[in-house]
Amino acid sequence: MVRDRNQPNSTHRVLVSGNYCHDVLIKDGVVLAETLGGAASFISNVFDGLSVPYNLVSKVGFDFAYSVPRDPIVVPNCKTTLFHAHFDSGVDGDGRQDRVLKRVSSCDPIKPSDLPESRFDFGMAVGVGGEVTVETMEKLLEICNTVFVDIQALIRAFDGVDGTVKHVALKESGFFHLLPRIGFLKASAEEALFMEVEEVRKLCCVVVTNGRRGCRVYWRDGEVEVGPFPTNQVDPTGAGDSFLGGFVAGLVNGLTVPDAALLGNLFGSLTVGQIGLPKFDIRLLQRAREEVQRRKMQCGNCYERKDDKFRFVNAAGQEQFHASLGVAKQTTKCLAHEPQWDLPSSPSKPTEQVVLCQYTTQPKSLTGSVYEEAIKTVDVESKP
């Protein structure tokens, strides 16, 4: 079981299940950054920033290169799951259609026995490399009152030759029969094409993120669109993970579903503005926590029944909540951390040596590069 340095074992609020990864970001064949990756790292980043109590079960290999707040299970005879994300600056789009993701190596899957026997209010299945099995999902559903699932944990398949990430239909994934026990299923607009939303919404709540357009929440009796927070997109990696972290953090703090989705949109927008795992300005985090508590008090009596677990309909004042979160974002210095290159299209392309110096997550120990392909690196003595 993961050793938790910051939270006491008696706190059983949220259980996150998903492996840490090594991510290598490559643009036009040039390595721009090597960073800590995996949905678990982005979600933990949001939870730590918003002071959400949680436990995490994650596996890594003997070569794991980063220091993290919650230590993973180290598998001595395995390498850490490694992804290469290839971008092409010559292709216009929203940063996803032109991204080619390859799994270079994979750690062991998370077993049911790796999960704790304690009960949790919320559980999260956020595998990225095939590490969440059907059996593990069943165990998660047994010990958690409400489970949130990222569809990428269910539908990803990997090419047997070069590890390119592909998708299978949700009905063919082996997880479809578990949907009636799942609370929320999150998918990007591209991933949503691999399921019938109208069918799945009758089985569980569906949240579809759509980048700069925000997100839409579907449930059996209705749907609601939740507005975005404009940002300058730099790297889409982890945006959906940060969204899910913010979304769950909002629900943990008693927000309605639309308000929680707004909080998710905020953290998704902050993530795409930086390379790899984002750094959140401490003043923004404080303002966000204050606005969440203010909104919670404002909506304290908005539930129709006392036994309602979640409220899906917008409560009065959401526009102001949206505006307040937007002001919190704009009035902090977090945007000053944004690098000056853009994926996939940029009007100008400054030197990438600045990106490497300022925005590469620093590993605890790295005697050699974690990427294994013959990829060009940036020559800091010459212009790109």
191 with 178: CB under 8 angstroms?
A: no
Q: Is 160 exposed, middle or buried (0-12, 13-18, 19+ CB in 10 A)?
A: exposed
Handedness of CA 354, 357, 360, 366 (dihedral sign): positive
Rounded CA separation 11/39 (Å):
22
Tell me which residues are annotated as active site. Answer: 241
Name which of 88, 165, 152 is nearest 124 in CA terms.
152
Three-state DSSP class for residue 125: strand
Helix axes 318-330, 257-272, angle to 10 degrees: 20
Q: Is 72 exposed, middle or buried (0-12, 13-18, 19+ CB in 10 A)?
A: buried
Q: Which amino acid is at 20?
A: Y
Rounded CA separation 230/225 (Å):
16
Rounded CA separation 225/299 (Å):
19
234 with 274: CB under 8 angstroms?
A: yes
Helical (H) or strand (E) element with 75: strand 73-75
Q: Is 112 exposed, middle or buried (0-12, 13-18, 19+ CB in 10 A)?
A: middle
Residue 264 token pair: 């998710």
Helix axes 318-330, 282-298, angle to 10 degrees: 170
